Chains A and B, each alone.
Chain A
Amino acid sequence: MADGVQVTGLNAWFGARQVLRNVGLHAPANGVTALIGPSGCGKSTFVRCLNRMHEVVPGARSTGQVLLNGEDVYAPGVDPVMVRRRIGMVFQKPNPFPTMSVFDNAAAGLRLAGVRDKDTLHEVVERALRQAALWDEVKDELHKSGSSLSGGQQQRLCIARAVAVQPEVLLMDEPCSALDPIATAKIEELILDLKKELTIIIVTHNMQQAARVSEWTGFFLMGELIEFGVTRDLFTAPREKKTEDYITGRFG
């Protein structure tokens, strides 16, 4: 069906400062692509360019081509709002909407887009919470406030919220960095499940995590994509010296 996300020649700036330089990669559909690299190397900016969140910051701009299953996200006339409906995002710190219940959080994307039918909402919320491996834990307390959950549960709620609108791609920006190891393990497990239906691109500074969940990995350094390849190959026999230095802990 789909061929995932194809990026060609992506450059990004904050004002006059260039933060991404001629990045290109292909994240295949129904798979997990990990992006690693030291802090500040541009991996977060990269994924935010994919769902056109980068341009929300005043003074930020980008050039290049991002193909979502063949359609250019940056083509003239394309509405960023539409792009973001098809590319979902989960952030580093869990951010459920504090005034809404668990149910309302999961349903937020749909409800605010105009879907009103109660049955539809219930079905979608249940499916999304199951996909996020949260259903069993909250099914009797759907009315409780979203912020009453633990950190790990909140992040899974945010994942449920994102997948409820049935995006084709899910971007995850260091989703586990604020969580404990058990919560992290649960999320890694559900990533392996989610990839059957979605294209997942995950930014992580944890190399072991990248090795665990992804099939493809890209290594970023100072705004450039140094190397991109099959995860196993990149970690055991990296082609570039800089990649090898990073992996073996010589810097970063």
Chain B
Amino acid sequence: MIEAEAARGGAIQGPPLPRAFFLTARGGFWGDRIFQSVVYAAVGLFVLIMVGIVAALVTESMPAIRRFGFSFVAGQEWDPVKEAFGALPFIYGTLVSALVGMIIAVPLGIGAAIYLAELAPFWARSPIGFLIELLAAVPSVVYGLWGIFVLAPFLRNWIEPLLGKTLGFLPLFQGPPYGVGMLAAGLILSIMTVPFIATVSREVLLAVPNTQREAALALGATRWETTWVAVLRYGRSGLVGAVLLGLGRALGETMAVTMVIGNRPEIAVSLFAPGYTMASVLANEFTEATSDIYLSALVYIGLLLLGVTIIVNSAARLLVWSVGGTVKGIRE
């Protein structure tokens, strides 16, 4: 039909269409308004959730806060039967396990990031980066499972006796080798944090402008010297941010640590000894809390954990953003 009309050479008439004859008819005003409201509602809901998290924790921990106050942080005894609650063993365990983890993870992570960003051959960068991403995506409980059945026995049968024999004069390496304990937790944490530190550090290093590298290379520097002098110095604050991000992650890590730390609320110097972290006690005892004050004390610990991770993560983000800008999202 249309071809015939075209063949006739006349202007092609089409089927009647809904025509906008009156310019003043409302074309999409209500649609725009509604859509904007929906978007703002989603954003508002998000902010509400953030506020809600803090509010929920504060409300539930109020009884414990009122009963124990700040001495909760210094209290060493955790006895639900006597209703004596002190968070120090958990704070100690969280900090020490995170520290052990970071001591191993930071040099490895930043080293791997430098390798990926500056030194590796181009064909290898993508696959290696992918493998590191995979490591970051492995669920905590899977690491924990591996920790119980592979790492802990390995520590108990080989590493801890060896350390005890060679470095046993240090109080760090004294005591019976259980396998599970602070050392196992620290090692598992290092394995879990290293991919984060590596990924974020790599992004920071990649965000360093090429002009910095070119300036150094033009002066005759080797690849390593370029990295050391130009790139690392420029990206310094971002790298600190990456480390802090790793720390934040290590502080909050729950399942893997719970499965290998031994779960004993005591402060011991030796790395071989069992310990307990803030996240672990929440995981183990939340459903066992028989009294209101018990639950409230646990939520108090959760509140402390929330506060610490918010502070560490906020500082980390600001540092990372200072190098690369805010918009290139850091996806973990």
Contacts and interface: CB of A to CB of B under 8 A. Distances in A.
Question: In the complex, A touching B, CB below 8 Å?
Answer: yes
Nearest to B17: A166
A230 interface: no
Interface residues of B, number: 18
Given A130-B2, A196-B11, A124 B23 contact: no
Interface in B13-58: 14-15, 17-20, 22-29
B120 interface: no
Given A81-B27, A82-B23, A196-B11, A127 B18 contact: no
Interface string B193-208: 0000000000000000
B12 A130 contact: yes
Given A130-B2, A130-B6, A79 B15 contact: no
B91 to A, nearest CB: 50
A78 B24 CA distance: 4
B23 to A, nearest CB: 5
Contacts of B18: 113-115
- Specify the main secondary structure of chain B where it touches its partner: loop
Contacts of B27: 79-82, 85
Interface in B143-190: none
A75 B23 contact: yes
B17 A123 contact: no
Interface residues of A, number: 28
A127 B20 contact: no
Contacts of A53: none
A34 interface: no
A221 to B, nearest CB: 32
Contact of A79 (B6, B14, B17, B23): B23
B135 to A, nearest CB: 34
Contacts of A173: none
A196 to B, nearest CB: 5
25 contacts: A68-B23, A71-B23, A73-B23, A75-B23, A77-B24, A78-B23, A79-B24, A79-B26, A79-B29, A82-B20, A82-B25, A82-B27, A83-B23, A85-B27, A110-B17, A115-B17, A123-B2, A123-B14, A124-B14, A124-B15, A127-B14, A130-B2, A130-B12, A131-B12, A165-B17
Interface of B: 2, 6, 11-12, 14-15, 17-20, 22-29
